[in-house]
Structure 1
Amino acid sequence: MRIDIITVLPELLKSPFEASILKRSIEKGLVEVHFHNLRDYTTNKYKTVDDYQFGGGAGMVMMIEPIDKCISKLQSQREYNEIIYMTPDGNRLNQQIANEISLKENIIILCGHYKGVDQRVRDNFITREISIGDYVLSGGELGAAVLCDTVIRLIPGVLNDETSALTDSFQDNLLAPPVYTRPAEYKGWKVPEILLSGNLPEIENWREQQAYKRTQERRPDLLDK
């Protein structure tokens, strides 16, 4: 997979990709991540990427011209499956969306800023709009990093145990069950006996029951799906 991220703050985005599984996935050649500074596509000496909005009102708007030039240049080099815009009014990111995007070969992520982008960008370039929650950030960079993390970990070979991602919360509209590790007893707090039994069918049955119970208690809305 190749991910091209368009941003006015590439330095803010780079650090998550220099550690943990994101770094390993890049080093293994499983994913390419490229950062494109939108200011490099401006035509004025001040490298301005925003302007006042027509009709008046508070807040600046990202201009269409530098975004068009950046996207058009990338599209001249390869075909993209998705051009994603990170925005608070997009579809809320969930596991299903992450699963879908992880199957793509080439994607562009546009990070919004200020009051957002000129609507003509959204109308003519964007194929999918994504939000990471019902709140507003200073820009789309942190949201883009979250999206990349959720997607990249699903790519085969990124995780040491590929089945791990299949048992994560939300994969089957259930939250993950409780998990334990050594020691089996600590300060009188014991691990459930079933997990020490070695009876794999019973252990899986227990985990399914616990997952359902936790979902019912914490996210009953998921069970409606």
Structure 2
Amino acid sequence: MRTQMATEAGRTTAPSEDRALVGPNLLAVLDGVTAKPENGCEHGVGWFADQLAAEILRVAHLAPAEALAKAVEQAAELHAGTCDLDHPDSPSVAIAVVQIKDDVLRYLVLGDATVVVDTRQELRVVSDTKTQRTAGAKAADVEHALTGEIALQDVRRVALLSDGAARAVDLFNLFDWRQALELMAANGPDDLIRKMRAVEKEDAKAVDWPRQKISDDATVVYLDR
């Protein structure tokens, strides 16, 4: 199996709040939710994403939902003594996780991150753009995640994307998902981001494609079997 990763900040004036994980049996993309000025936390969203990512790797042997719940609990403990974790705008992330274990691919999506699985029978696209639940200070939020599993022998390739990268397909319509996977197979996930950035620059005032962020942090993890 071959795994490739690409990530790029949405602005040159601020660091990306996306994070990507590639572990022995686990892939993940974390997309930090843009912080409001008053969020009850003295740490940045990037800090929270870093802590959560580290905790997820530590418990990567567990099933994705259980691993994320434990990781949320542990990350919360790291700043419970200094920050108001009950604040509604406390740092959080949208997250996509894929675990490969025991000849099964298991996936989890919480928030507007995306998992795309190309199998021998179908193309499965998983994202939650309606409820906008994210992983923050409460492990109970993980109960709202979309989860599933697929026999590994049926899987051809997989992509995990933050919403800033998925907009290449679901906002700009540069490709459909199958074409996006073909592009990444041929040129790597960085080419998808490159082509999307070109469109963003052409529509710098968000006229042709109305959007809240002219350019967003974009991260892709791509696995090809």
> Normalised by the size of structure 1, how large is the TM-score?
0.29
> Normalised by the size of structure 2, how large is the TM-score?
0.29
Choose between structure 1 and 2: higher strand proportion. Answer: 2
